[in-house]
């Protein structure tokens, strides 16, 4: 059986390869839609389902793995920044505070699907304007939910985490493998 990762994320690709699962990559072309009233977990799960349904329709015999990561703070959902100013705004909002990183995952094969999410709490150090500007100039924030990546220079912003480190990278790997085993039984 073919396994498809429905993501262009190099971090998800790296994590799934680390688990030793052979897979192909097919990126969803679905226009992502969320209800503004949803919380981070509901939004992340719904976006993962939308991506899995898109790829699953094209490859119905394959096992599709789709994921989406959202950062939540004060009832506000932070996806990928639109531009440098938006990235700086997000980092100011997260500065010196704790926020939630939620990754929603959808496993799909034919009409069968399993949807779950994982939440990790992340605490940032207080960030100065120069630190924010330098990080934004690095370009790293631009393709990441919440405008940072914990696995790169963004690690210097993080005071601590409670939960799954890989979830913050965009794929709760250990949970995914356990869910995948059950799904494929």
Query: Does the annotation count 86 as an active-site position?
Result: no
* Percent of the chain whose pLDDT exceeds 90: 91
**What's the pLDDT score for residue 111?**
93
What number is the average pLDDT over the span 137-162?
Answer: 96
Residue ranges of domains in the chain, CATH in brackets: 3-183 (3.90.950.10)
**Helix 173-183 / helix 10-18 crossing angle, nearest 10 deg:** 70
Q: What's the count of helices (H) and strands (E) in the chain, helices before strands?
A: 6, 7
As a whole number of angstroms, the distance between CA 107 and CA 172 comes to: 13
Banded pLDDT at 135 (limits 50, 70, 90): very high
As a whole number of angstroms, the distance between CA 137 and CA 183 comes to: 42
User: For residue range 69-125, what is the model confidence (pLDDT) as tens digits?
Assistant: 999 999 999 999 999 999 999 999 999 999 999 999 999 999 999 999 999 999 999
Closest CA to 115 of 34, 37, 42: 42
As a whole number of angstroms, the distance between CA 107 and CA 72 comes to: 23
What number is the average pLDDT over the span 66-71?
Answer: 96
**What's the pLDDT score for residue 37?**
86
C-alpha distances in angstroms, 78 versus 33, 62, 66, 128, 143?
14, 31, 19, 20, 12
Coil/strand/helix, residue 62: coil
Catalytic residue among 35, 68, 74, 83: 68
User: For residue range 41-63, what is the model confidence (pLDDT) as tens digits?
Assistant: 999 999 999 999 999 999 999 99
Q: Are 4 and 24 in contact (CB under 8 A)?
A: yes
User: For residue range 8-31, what is the model confidence (pLDDT) as tens digits?
Assistant: 999 999 999 999 999 999 999 888
């Amino acid at each position: 059986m073919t396994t498809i990762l429905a993501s262009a994320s190099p971090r998800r690709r790296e994590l799934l390869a680390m688990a030793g699962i052979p897979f192909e990559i097919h990126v969803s072309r679905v226009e992502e839609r969320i209800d503004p009233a949803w919380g981070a977990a509901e939004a992340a799960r719904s976006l993962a389902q939308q991506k899995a349904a898109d790829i699953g329709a094209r490859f119905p015999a394959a096992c599709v793995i789709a994921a989406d990561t959202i950062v939540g703070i004060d009832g506000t959902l932070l996806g990928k920044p639109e531009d440098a100013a938006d990235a700086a705004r997000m980092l100011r909002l997260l500065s010196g505070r704790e926020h939630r990183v939620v990754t929603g995952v959808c496993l799909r094969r034919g009409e069968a699907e399993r949807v779950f999410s994982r939440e990790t709490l992340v605490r940032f150090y207080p960030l100065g304007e120069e630190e924010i500007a330098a990080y934004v100039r690095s370009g790293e924030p631009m393709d990441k939910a919440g405008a940072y990546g914990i696995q790169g220079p963004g690690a210097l912003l993080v005071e601590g985490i409670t939960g799954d480190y890989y979830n913050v990278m965009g794929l709760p790997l250990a949970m995914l493998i356990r869910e995948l085993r059950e799904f494929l039984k």
